[in-house]
Amino acid sequence: MSQPRLRLENCRFENGVWKVDAEQAKHLVKVRRCCNGSVVEGLLDGEKIELRLENCGTGEICAVELSRTKEKKAAREIHLLLALLKNDQFDEALRFAAETGVSEIHLLVCERSVPKITDRLGGKMKRWNKILAEATKQSGAAAPPVLHEPVPFEKFDFPAVCAEKYAALLAENTQPLAQIAFGKKTALAIGPEGDWSPEETRRLLAEGFVPVSLGNRILRASTAVAVGCGWLGNAKY
């Protein structure tokens, strides 16, 4: 079983001691069976912090720092351009992005996106960021990806992302992702279910995206995120 982990953004730091928030404290005790003296890993702002749990005597769980180390910088900075997807697909895609080491996620509202931008975007962003934070706890990443608010495809500033750009396309004349030598900063665009529209495909190619394939089979969008970003995160220069 993996070491218990918690994110420290919602914990209070008082007098050199972390006060664990109620939600994570309940998970540590009820699910991970942690107790007084258990050693866990805290994750905060790119750092991994070894902690020893203690009873505060007030019904709260405290955590005392034992050591603190910076997470090793990723070999490649990955920007994921992701079309909005249906809820279950989108949640999975976010988890896979966090687990495979994506640096930033840029959300696109595409012609075939389901759903479109709706009201309550603030609440949705909060929920999506929580999914990313939970995924980093599971995978042991010290910081979740930066999540940018959805932008309509036609209004997105593609040149501002980075120079090296690839787009997964269901089309002929694509280059297998496994045959490409990548640089240190790379963008990968994953479209909605049903692929990019013809106009979106033309725009991506005009913006300098290299068309790539992720294998011989047609993948769900969330699976494409796992395959594409997983490969980028581990491919050599």
Q: What is the pLDDT of residues 163-198, one digit of tens each?
A: 999 999 988 889 998 888 898 999 999 999 989 999
Query: Averaged over 79-95, what is the pLDDT?
Result: 94
What pLDDT was estimated at residue 82?
Answer: 98
Name residues whose C-beta falls within 8 Å of residue 106's C-beta, 6 or more positions apart in sequence. Answer: 79, 80, 81, 82, 148, 151, 156, 161
Q: With pLDDT > 90 as the criterion, what percentage of the chain qualifies? A: 73
Q: What does the alpha-carbon distance between residue 130 and residue 81 come to, in Å, rounded to a whole number?
A: 19
What pLDDT was estimated at residue 1?
Answer: 65
Q: Which residue has the higher pLDDT, 219 or 117?
A: 219
Scored b (16 or more CB within 10 A) or e, 86-117 reads eeebbbbbbbbbbbbbbbbbbbbbbbebeeee
What pLDDT was estimated at residue 118?
Answer: 67
Of the candidates 91, 15, 87, the one whose C-alpha atom is nearest the C-alpha of residue 54 is: 15
Q: What is the pLDDT of residues 94-135, one digit of tens each?
A: 999 999 999 999 999 999 998 777 668 889 999 999 999 999
Q: What does the alpha-carbon distance between residue 234 and residue 237 come to, in Å, rounded to a whole number?
A: 10
